[in-house]
A and B are shown apart, each in its own frame.
Chain A
Amino acid sequence: MQRKTIFPQKGLPYLLLAPQLAITAVFFFWPAGQAVWYAFLRQDAFGIRTQFVGFENFADLFADPYYLQAIWTTVFFSVSVTVLSMSVALLLAALADREIRAAGLYRTLLIWPYAIAPAIAAVLWLFLFHPSIGLLGRGLNAMGVAWDYRLNDGQAMLVVILASAWKQVSYNFIFFLAGLQAIPRAVLEAAAIDGARPIRRFWTVVFPLLSPTAFFLLVVNIVYAFFDTFGIIDALTKGGPGKATETLIYRAYLDGRVNLDLGMSAAQSVVLMIMVIGLTIVQFRFIERRVHY
């Protein structure tokens, strides 16, 4: 963790660290601390008096059936996005890793979507699934399917899941491909000589060796589905219809921005923080244990 040879200056390192630490303190620790502090406060209706209410905000939060529904929505949404986008990415990566013609071209054509913003992905999907101007949306309606994701809960969920998973495929693809390329060719050849056919080779050798990558991606994808998909949901459904696509982050946004309920919004921030910290710890634990097979 430390180099042997270093420079002796004492003041310089502080100077070098100053910008990063200043920003971190002002825009990370101070607000995070405030979030924790506000989570235990409640303002009266006129915003004049503020009082300490202990865990009351949290108790209210978890007593709120809509919040519990948002948790369930988030879990369902995140698991669907993660599973869908990781499996498509793994399939494409496994194929693009084969020695075929134009493999490099395929890789480029599957990597560029990394650059698409979640909100832009939503706009692109709008042109596919919008009931009156979307290519597929109109097609569905023409076929007699009553398709309007702005009115139907299940359809709304389906569209945000598809758009969110779609946007994340290339990220997963890049990592799976790198993971596949890190597997020594000789190990696969040894398996071929041992008599394993391609499918069996994949499940008994490739997939186990890829599991650290897969686990890492699992965590990243869950975090992505929790937070980064805000733009997709905001652009496509605004959490609706009803509360059908209201995830935890969207709910926190609504409470803070629209309902101006600072205490409740802060309590939600704390809940989200605990979730992220939990995920990060799980991830680091795992990496520590599994970094060498």
Chain B
Amino acid sequence: MATLSLSGVRKQFGTTPVLHGIDLDVADGEMIVVVGASGCGKSTLLRIVAGLETASAGSVRIDGRDVTGLEPADRDIAMVFQNYALYPHMTVFENMAYGLKIRGMKLPDIRRRVDEAAQMLEIGPLLDRKPRQLSGGQRQRVAMGRAVVREPKLFLFDEPLSNLDAKLRVQMRAEIRRLQKRLGVTSLFVTHDQVEAMTLGDRLVVMHQGRAAQVASPMEVWGRPADTYVAGFIGSPAMNFLAATLLEGGGAAMLRAGPVIGFARAVSAAAAGTAVTLGIRPEHVEPAEGGLPLAIDLVEPLGSETVIHGTLPGGEVLTARLPIPASGIGATMPLRLPPEAFHVFEGASGRRLD
């Protein structure tokens, strides 16, 4: 168990910058999820922590020790790979024992540790099999087991669930969370899946174009996204964005077509007349008499709720998630946009203003 601290980590491949200076402090036993679209640099970041890539600048410290220049072998970490990367010519037992054997552990001790881990992961009966004789879910467990037996300072997960089918993914997700809490090993988990990120992480690092757009707890990322990218990335269906101009006092803004929208948290950081982007999540939109009329062009019934898509009089596209069945395509529905549900972002930079 250990802390992890990154400061100013940069990476360039040739002349292409991939990471622009990442700072991150991970507390002992914390589970950090690094989430972002493909190409955002999240995997590179993980590989730098693992020692599989060298950082172009900056430092990596594990438990206070600078490991920036060390080989993976000297970092005391374990990693679960996307396609598991099990040794195809070794049995499950040998796969799990390999790292311990290299570290010179005695065979009885190895056996004890592997048995313990195998029991915890319910793969005891599989120990004599080769990887090719296992199902995807079982391979996933073995990959976990290989990491667990090492009792490392740090667990690294590189999208370990993305090769599983939807049902198994949900199940393994819960299991990884339970295991990580139980063992209390500091972990870094990389994924592109926002649901995975929300459910697994103590804190999230939302990456965008090589930068950490926001580092915060899942609820804070959802409730107070730092910019329009984070706001649009986390949450499904994605947040609605409306272009508007800030009015005097910072408590309201005017849409292009004229309607004025008030919001609860007044903006003081920007002057009147500033172009802003107003964000509101589809689930916060309410049907209400006398609200803004939405011309519906698509209705998606999901059973317990209904998602409707349409356009406002000013031409803005809006999605709403309603707890009621909605009328059909072509109809117009009046909607209320509650002032307390609004997020206000600066139009040009996308930064949060309120």
Contacts and interface: CB of A to CB of B under 8 A. Distances in A.
Interface stretch (A133-141, A152-160, A184-192, A273-281): A184-192
Contacts of A196: 73, 98, 102
A217 interface: no
A189 to B, nearest CB: 5
Interface string A95-111: 00000000000000000
Contacts of B88: 187, 209, 292-293
Contacts of B52: 189, 192-193
Contacts of B82: 186
Main secondary structure of the interface of A (DSSP, over half): helix
A184 B82 CA distance: 12
Nearest to B102: A195
Interface string B124-141: 000000101000000000
A186 B81 contact: yes
Interface string B101-130: 011000000000000000000000000001
B56 interface: no
A193 B87 contact: no
Given A205-B87, A209-B88, A293-B132, A192 B81 contact: no
A195 B130 contact: no
B99 A195 contact: yes
A190 B150 CA distance: 12
B306 interface: no
Nearest to B158: A186
The residue among B78, B81, B82 with the most chain A CB atoms within 10 A of its own CB is B81
Contacts of B85: 184, 186-187, 189-190
Given A192-B73, A194-B98, A187 B87 contact: yes
B72 interface: yes
A195 B102 CA distance: 7
Nearest to B103: A195
Interface in A176-212: 184, 186-187, 189-197, 200, 204-205, 208-209
Nearest to B150: A194
Given A209-B88, A293-B89, A191 B98 contact: yes
Query: Is chain B's interface secondary structure helix, strand, loop, or mixed overall?
Result: loop
B332 interface: no
A193 B89 contact: no
Contacts of B103: 195
Nearest to B104: A195
A195 B100 CA distance: 9
Contacts of B200: none
B79 A190 contact: yes
Nearest to A187: B85
Interface in B17-56: 50-52
Contacts of B99: 193-195
Nearest to B152: A193
Contacts of A292: 88, 132
A189 B87 contact: no
B248 interface: no
Most buried by B among A193, A195, A208: A193
Given A292-B132, A293-B132, A190 B87 contact: yes
A191 B87 contact: yes
Nearest to A207: B89
Nearest to A292: B132
Nearest to A190: B85
Contacts of A197: 71, 73
Contacts of A189: 50, 52, 72, 79, 81, 85
Interface of A: 184, 186-187, 189-197, 200, 204-205, 208-209, 292-293
19 contacts: A184-B85, A186-B83, A186-B85, A187-B85, A187-B88, A189-B72, A190-B86, A191-B98, A192-B72, A193-B50, A194-B73, A194-B146, A195-B72, A195-B99, A195-B103, A205-B89, A209-B89, A292-B132, A293-B130
Which 6 pairs of residues, A with B, have the shortest CB-CB distance? A194-B99, A186-B85, A195-B73, A190-B85, A195-B102, A208-B89
Given A197-B71, A205-B87, A293-B130, 18 more contacts: A184-B83, A184-B85, A186-B85, A187-B86, A187-B88, A189-B79, A190-B85, A190-B87, A190-B146, A191-B87, A193-B50, A193-B72, A193-B77, A193-B99, A195-B103, A196-B98, A209-B89, A293-B132
